[in-house]
Amino acid sequence: MAFQYIDPHMYKKVEGWYSPNLGLDMPVVTYGHSGRPLLVFPTAAADFLENERFFLIKSIEPFIMAGRLRVFSIESINKHAWMNKHISVEEKGRRQALYSRYIEEELVPYMRHVVGNPHARIGVTGASFGCFHAANALFRRPDMFDVLIGMSGFYDLGPDYFHGYGDDNTYFNNPMSYVPNLDGYFLDLLRNHCSINLVTGQGAYEAPGESIRFSEMLNNKGISNNLDLWGQDVNHDWPWWRKMLPYYIERLGW
């Protein structure tokens, strides 16, 4: 019998399509038959099943099986963009921008169709680089996304990835760049109709200063957020993310 990463009775469906924005086949896996929609990004350059293989889906299985949560997991763009050493920063930013368009123009309509609500706002989460992508999704489009559970993340590509380069693609896909200048309807949504949770450990390979810096910027912008610093023993690793995510889903009352 093949090893089971999740309960074999859990509803699981793998679909996908050729993305006209990205020019790539983009699979998506859905877990659960009903409940609050949650989009989960993989870490680093991983694939759409990474969160299952590392038992993150297992950690929230009770919520899914109870019909409280419907989870969607997708591919990362990083192996084609930020972790591709053979292309320029300009091209990396262009590919990141196309990934954002894929999420907003293709994935969100698909998710809303699946949950049967054309106006549904969606929760987002991810750990490490996945946290960056989750945050970028919400802060770009708070009309589509309303909850962020950002785990062990960072919110600024500039210091490590831009190497001094900048254009519209890098600017509008880097929350630390564009959020300070937001105004109008999206700013109102972020201030009054979103739940923003920045949770990080302070142990090995964690970077709590990234979450602290982003939280301070949000506070200066009048955007409420929950900065949650876990202990010095909390490392940058899956066992802790498997604790953080169910803790926050329960805390949010999903």
- Give pLDDT tens digits for 179-222: 999 999 999 999 999 999 999 999 999 999 999 999 999 999 99
Predicted confidence (pLDDT) at residue 226 exceeds the cutoff of 70: yes
CB 57 within 8 A of CB 31: yes
Predicted local confidence at residue 3, as pLDDT:
81
Quote the pLDDT of residue 2.
Answer: 67
> pTM of the predicted model, to two decimals?
0.97
Residue written as token pair 């142990």 = 203
Residue 151 has pLDDT above 70, yes or no: yes
Distance in angstroms (rounded) separating the CA atoms of residues 219 and 100: 25
Q: Which long-range contacts (CB under 8 A, 24 or more apart) does 102-108 make?
A: 102/19, 102/21, 102/22, 102/26, 103/74, 103/137, 104/140, 104/141, 104/144, 105/21, 106/17, 106/19, 106/20, 106/21, 106/26, 107/26, 107/28, 107/39, 107/72, 107/74, 108/141, 108/144
As a whole number, mean pLDDT of residues 221-226 equals: 98
d(CA 142, CA 194): 7
* Rounded Cα gap, residues 104 and 99, in angstroms: 9
For the cut 80, the answer to whether the pLDDT of residue 230 exceeds it is yes
- Kindly state the average pLDDT of the residues 34-45: 97
Is the pLDDT at 118 greater than 90, yes or no?
A: yes
Task: In whole angstroms, give the CA distance from residue 209 to residue 189.
Answer: 26
Question: pLDDT (tens digit, 9 = 90+) per residue, 49-89?
Answer: 999 999 999 999 999 999 999 999 999 999 999 999 999 99
- Residue 53: the pLDDT is 97
* Structure-token pair, residue 48: 């759409």
Ordered domains of the chain (ranges, CATH) = 13-251 (3.40.50.1820)
Tens digits of per-residue pLDDT, 242-254? 999 999 999 999 9
Instruction: Tell me the three state secondary structure of residue 230.
Output: coil
Whether the Cβ atoms of residue 67 and residue 33 lie closer than 8 Å to each other:
yes
Mean pLDDT of the chain: 97
